[in-house]
Structure 1
């Protein structure tokens, strides 16, 4: 079993888009609003288009099995909420049954939280940890050290650039991911608000921000 890590090139685009619907299978965040093309438009395409040198790919015996989409300074990308608004418009998500059900549930969750004066998930910005990442692997690549290799290359890139720190956002309920990030030196930071609209095994889930100083 041979693991290889390198950065994205435009020749990888087709294979990466084909892989994207499979990453995260079985995890609490494996499926969001049920439209893979628009989900990739929010969480993958902007990195390939704007930050290809920070998009790391993992290969197992020559086959693409995962990626780490990184951003050395979160100010370099449009915010997640802006990317989401654009995806809703361009992919006409309000005319699609599964996304509409998700957004309706998200609206109800937001109202529920407002009535109880509870926070909901959102973007994170702090100059101590300006970089961020998303890391995803297909199920058969888990436990192969591909994730560790992706993270090691990404953190070395940040250290070389003199970046002071990195953050990520996962789910409290994604215990496997939390254990992995903890092993890589990330620690929980701040509150753990509900993520409107998202469910795992029929239950609400909660955002977990984790940080690592470099």
Structure 2
């Protein structure tokens, strides 16, 4: 099992696929962990009020690591016995995935993930006349215009997932239509299918991103994970990381639009706290989330 940890410098070990070793925990370990979590939580929000992104991320990462260790190994479990010493099996780390800010050298991996998940989560390689089409619409304009709102899941060898966003959808739609799309549209002068014609027409429409609720939920996101990175809580971590940065900017709401038939994704977003918006259509569901001010 792949576990997730976030940090800027070193990495803390988590449960993973490897041999078992013994660990001894004192009887008050759970209480100590709960106290540490409580203090980290308080410090995180004190820092948030001061709008210091780097410190905020640090405290947030510590808190997430503690929660993951508790889930993986049962630390501080309310059902634990009160024996003076408890022995348990603790797994050494197998694979580590780090949530970190986007870097320019991630660009090829962003393109690859976008294409390999571009058909409602499935591989869209060869679907259009050029595999550049989906990244040119749904990935690269975001990392180029607002790289500070792009975060990736890195398995140590490559990026296996990402979340990207625009803080102000109205501004982004204007920039996309007037600047970005004209710079790349010439690559697609000879579409080879009806699906490609439709995708190109949608990309060139400056109003396609302006949902009825856009002023209440001005930011929007795209999130994609390769199949091997799914089912491990990475989607939640990526979106939570993005929410912290949007909250610091004072962005009141965040939205996304997905195919109405993608029931698994819909259930995932509902679990995260997104609610379906009135701007949804029979073919496209729009979810929104309010963002608390720091």
TM-score per shorter chain, which class? Answer: 0.7 to 0.9
CA contact (8 A) 1:7 1:55 kept: yes
1:105–1:59 distance in 2 versus 1, CA, 3 Å: closer
Unaligned runs of 5+ in 1: 107-120, 195-205
Q: How does 1:62-77 map to 2 (within 5 A)?
A: 62-77=157-172
CA contact (8 A) 1:130 1:166 kept: yes
If asked which structure has higher relative contact order (CA below 8 Å, sep 6+), I would say 1
Mean alpha-carbon deviation: is it higher for 57-66 or for 143-152?
Answer: 57-66
Q: TM-score, normalised by structure 2?
A: 0.56
Q: Which structure's CA Rg is the greater one? A: 2
Residue 85 of structure 1 deviates from its aligned partner by: 5.8
Unaligned runs of 5+ in 2: 3-95, 200-207
CA contact (8 A) 2:173 2:209 kept: no
Match in the other structure for 1:15: 109
CA contact (8 A) 1:79 1:123 kept: no
Mean alpha-carbon deviation: is it higher for 33-42 or for 43-52?
Answer: 33-42
Following the alignment from structure 1 to structure 2, what is the Cα–Cα distance between the partners of residues 192 and 28?
A: 23
Match in the other structure for 2:288: 211
Residue 126 of structure 1 deviates from its aligned partner by: 2.4
Residue 104 of structure 1 deviates from its aligned partner by: 5.7
1:13–1:92 distance in 2 versus 1, CA, 3 Å: same
1:38–1:25 distance in 2 versus 1, CA, 3 Å: closer
Name whichever structure is richer in strand by fraction: 1
| 1:164 maps onto 2:259 in alignment | no
Match in the other structure for 1:123: 210
RMSD between superposed Cα atoms in Å: 3.0
Query: 4+ residue stretches of structure 1 with deviation over 4 A?
Result: 28-33, 103-106
Q: How does 1:1-214 map to 2 (within 5 A)?
A: 1=2, 2-24=96-118, 27=121, 34=128, 35-79=130-174, 82=177, 86=182, 89-93=185-189, 95-98=190-193, 101-102=194-195, 123-124=210-211, 126-193=214-281, 206-214=283-291
Following the alignment from structure 1 to structure 2, what is the Cα–Cα distance between the partners of residues 102 and 167?
A: 25
- 1:137-179 Cα offsets, whole Å, 9 max, x none, are 1111110111111011011111122211111111111111111
Aligned length: 187
Following the alignment from structure 1 to structure 2, what is the Cα–Cα distance between the partners of residues 73 and 32?
A: 32
Residue 75 of structure 1 deviates from its aligned partner by: 2.7
Following the alignment from structure 2 to structure 1, what is the Cα–Cα distance between the partners of residues 210 and 251?
A: 19
Following the alignment from structure 2 to structure 1, what is the Cα–Cα distance between the partners of residues 133 and 281?
A: 24
Q: TM-score, normalised by structure 1?
A: 0.74
- 1:122-149 Cα offsets, whole Å, 9 max, x none, are 6325221111100011111110111111
Task: Give the match's secondary structure for 2:116.
Answer: coil
Following the alignment from structure 1 to structure 2, what is the Cα–Cα distance between the partners of residues 102 and 56?
A: 30
Task: Give the match's secondary structure for 1:68.
Answer: strand
